Amino acid sequence: MKIIQSFVLVLLSIISIQVTMAQSDTDQVKSVMKKYKETLESLDVSDSFALFTEDSQVLESGKIEGTYADYIANHIGPELGHFSSFTFTEYEIDVQVDLPYAFTTESYIYTIILKEDGKQIERKATATSILKKMDENWKIVKTHSSSRAVKK
């Protein structure tokens, strides 16, 4: 009887450790995605390169933008200069971890206010990303975002 109890205890400990580790990875992945959103909201992407792998791929609404460095240089970098604010609301994230990968789905509404005329752009968006754990750090390998008009 004692042997069975000990066996069950060991088994429960192993399961508990695995659940804790998985939660920890999930939290780390959420933290990377949160940091990326905060970077965009700050309109300053200079410290965000480490969130992506060097050979990352960024896709946005029907277009391959290239690596994250390409995307910064040719699209989002210059674009942010035209915004007086960029905010995310109703943000939700789902994370599935299967080491060394994590697959995320984010849904949110983004609101941009243009510097030039104060015009407001509001869109409902979805982003799906693949992250990989490399040297204990989670990095975005691929991210695809798309948006549509917000239903009023």
Partner 1 sequence: MKIITSLKIAIVSLVVLVSGCNQPTDTQEDAAQDTQEDEAKVKEVLLAYKSGIEALSVEGLEDLFMKDSEVFESGGVEGSFDHYLGHHLAPELKAFESFQFSEHKVTAKIDLPYAFTTETYNYTIVLASDGRTISQKGVGTSILKKVDGKWKILKTHTSARAKKSSESGH
Closer of 30 and 124 to partner 1 (Cβ): 124
Among 63, 81, 119, 135, interactor with partner 1 by CB under 8 A: 63
Among 23, 84, 107, 120, interactor with partner 1 by CB under 8 A: 107
Q: What does the DSSP 8-state code read for residue 72?
A: I
Residue 142, token pair as written in the block: 């691929």
Cβ-contact 112, 121 below 8 angstroms: yes
User: Do the strands 101-114 and 63-66 form a parallel or antiparallel pair, or are they unpaired?
Assistant: unpaired
Q: Is 64 in the site for partner 1 (CB under 8 A)?
A: yes
Total residues at interface with partner 1 (CB under 8 A): 25
Q: Is 74 in the site for partner 1 (CB under 8 A)?
A: no
CA–CA gap between residue 145 and residue 152 (Å, rounded): 22
Q: Is 147 in the site for partner 1 (CB under 8 A)?
A: yes
Shortest distance, CB of residue 62 to partner 1, whole angstroms? 3
User: Do the strands 101-114 and 83-98 form a parallel or antiparallel pair, or are they unpaired?
Assistant: antiparallel
Examine residue 78 and say whether the peptide bond preceding it is cis (omega within 30 degrees of 0): no
CA–CA gap between residue 76 and residue 58 (Å, rounded): 11
Among 61, 74, 84, 120, interactor with partner 1 by CB under 8 A: 61
Q: Is 105 in the site for partner 1 (CB under 8 A)?
A: yes
Binding site for partner 1 (CB under 8 A): 57, 59-64, 98, 101, 103, 105, 107, 123-126, 128, 130, 141-142, 144-148
